[in-house]
Amino acid sequence: MPDTRLFLLLLCLLMSACAPGGPGSEALLSSSQLRTAMAKLPGAQVIEGNPLRISYPSGILFAEASVLPMPGGPEQLDPLMTLIRQSGVAWQLRVHAVSGEGEKYDRLLAAERVKVLRTYLKSSGVDLLKITITAVSGSGVPLELSIAE
């Protein structure tokens, strides 16, 4: 019997040593590290100000009037998901949509993009309680993020 308990203990230790770290295992970033990391995000533009913002201009993530990201869009967002998880701060996301089909369609398009982004954030291990996402119809960059104050 003692051999069985020892075996199970060793098996648990081995499994925990081999398991990758979860979203909570990443270290939090300082303010200067956060600025540096934001500047390195692929496809993103950093907008200085208070609060500091990141924007993904048209043609980077979403094609005009499209709900789903363009090919390569999710790969561009992976470093952003890591940054959000590591930052330890709350974020505000604004999702814009303009299609040329009218206000009602633009509202629907922005809301559907929000659903896609929520699913992606959740599947990337981002704590959705630290994210506020707003759908906005009309002109503006398709995705803009800022640190919540």
Determine, yes or no, domain membership for 14. Answer: no
Radius of gyration of the chain (CA): 19
Residues shown for the chain: 149
At 32, is the secondary structure helix, strand, or coil?
helix
Determine, yes or no, domain membership for 28. Answer: yes
End-to-end CA distance of the chain: 57
At 65, is the secondary structure helix, strand, or coil?
coil
Determine, yes or no, domain membership for 13. Answer: no
Domain of residue 90: give its range: 23-147
Determine, yes or no, domain membership for 15. Answer: no
Number of domains in the chain: 1
- Please, are residues 113 and 121 in contact by the beta-carbon 8 Å criterion? no
Q: Could you give the CA distance from residue 133 to residue 90 in angstroms, rounded to a whole number?
A: 11
Output the domain CATH number for residue 64: 3.30.1330.60
User: Whose structure tokens read 């300082």?
Assistant: 30
Determine, yes or no, domain membership for 6. Answer: no
Determine, yes or no, domain membership for 11. Answer: no
Give 14-46 pLDDT, tens digit per residue: 343 343 444 444 457 777 888 889 999 998 999
Determine, yes or no, domain membership for 102. Answer: yes
User: Which pLDDT tens digits describe the chain residue by residue (149 residues)?
Assistant: 445 454 444 434 334 334 344 444 445 777 788 888 999 999 899 998 888 899 998 888 887 778 888 777 778 889 999 999 988 889 999 999 988 888 899 999 999 999 999 999 999 999 999 999 999 988 888 899 998 87
Residue type, 109: L
Determine, yes or no, domain membership for 69. Answer: yes
Q: Could you give the CA distance from residue 89 to residue 127 in angstroms, rounded to a whole number?
A: 10
> Which pLDDT score, from 0 to 100, does residue 27 have?
56
